[in-house]
Amino acid sequence: MERFEQLISECKTIVSKHLSATQDGNKKYNIYRILNLTQNEVQMCRVLADLLNNQGEHGQGAKYLGCFVRTVLGLDIFDEEIEDAHVYKEYPITDDRRIDIVITYHGGFIPMEVKINAGDQKSQCYDYYQFAKKRDKNAFVVYLTKSGYKPSEYSLTGRAGDRLPEGAVKCISFSEDILRWLEDIKAGSPDEMQVLIDQYSEAVKEFINVDNAEYKMNLTNKILADSDSLRTSLEIAGGVNHAKAEIMKRLFEEFEAQMQPILCKYNLELETRSEWFHYKYQATEEYYTRNESSYPGLNYVIKSVNLGRDLSLWLRIEIDYKLFGSLCVFDYGAESNTGYEVGNQCDVISDELWLKLREHINLPEKKEKEGWIIVWKYLPTGSDSTIDAIDTVPDFKKMNEAAIALVDETTRKAFVGKCITVIKETLLSLVK
């Protein structure tokens, strides 16, 4: 028990430090992250090419290129040659191929292939090398990746089966070579360029996950400190899915408790006949072991709405990945597709049924989407926009901060209270 508490304490310290450093309030404003460009290979490559270009928007002439050629590539080139050099992005060659970046100078031709997330193409490095050799007898391919790994045999081998010789490819990395070069050129740059270089450098760190890698290694070292630490960690890992499922159950239990006082006012009745995808059976560890959701939820029959036959209008509170509330139609007379519950969701809403629904609910003239859900809203935002649901709506697959916060009873009670207010204002208010 003492070792368990010590391990938890040590890991909590590492996690807290990491979260403190990565919280939005501690992140620098970064235009690349805002525009979702950090993983965009083409755009990140274009910025790199412009920094290398003597005629680039940076206005610093050949300083950046000279530093790159000498410190990263290790080439001894005269200043005059660097000043006369040209940098091309997406340089076209044979077979409709384009080299990401090409540096040319007097008698020299340097092709650069940049890999952030894309895989190798057939004979890619081989073809680039052969193309470059016709223009520079000392040519080699610069292969730039996140961590400096080598190109695959698929890329190094020609269509006839011959392979590039050793030394034909120089591997460099964003994690060391490019970040070090950015620091070097920043030191001699004017203030406005230092800010822009910082922005690009932070974007590089984000897509290579430098901070996250260090964080995970710190945790790993604690876990692998001894056999007891590893054994304890494995036991904890085995109980995590059960703990996450328990949060969902407690959330729905709180909904049941706080919904009770408003049942009479809104003519609601807790649904018990079918218990269709009820949280008691669906909010389990299985939710986390399958790709799709197990759709745990809580159903209330809206008694004031008579749709005829075996049809019933429900208020349903459900977790797909995110939490949402909806008005939906259930058919008690339909055959269950699970074999456990009574009835089935009414996925086909006929024009006649839609007219009937409009007698009881304020709905548009025509149904916009198919399915048993008539109208739905994320909770607690009251929006049906995925953009509005990013941070404040609990996501129980990703276990975002909004979901994690619900482990606290006081927070959970306040959260459910807010959700019920939204349900009354955006869903139950539609019922005539």
Q: For the chain, list residues with pLDDT below 70.
A: 1-4, 18-27, 209-213, 386-390
Query: What percent of the chain shows pLDDT beyond 90?
Result: 59
pLDDT for residue 384: 86
**What is residue 23's predicted lDDT score, i.e. its pLDDT?**
57
Torsion sign over Cα 404, 409, 410, 415: positive
Residue 263 CA, chain-centre distance (Å), reads 39
299, 308, 429: which is closest to 373 by C-alpha? 299
**Residue 110: both structure tokens together:** 């340097």
* Residue 10: count of CB within 10 angstroms of its CB: 17
Residues 6+ apart with CB under 8 A from 152: 120
Ramachandran assignment for 78, one of left (phi > 0), alpha (psi -120 to 50 degrees), beta (any other):
beta
Predicted local confidence at residue 15, as pLDDT: 74
**For residue 55, which of 114, 103, 112 has the smallest C-alpha distance?**
103
The CA distance from 288 to 156, in Å, is: 41
pLDDT of residue 60: 92
End-to-end Cα distance, the chain: 59
Q: Where are the beta strands (DSSP E) in 194-274?
A: 268-270
What's the pTM value of the predicted model, to 2 decimals? 0.61
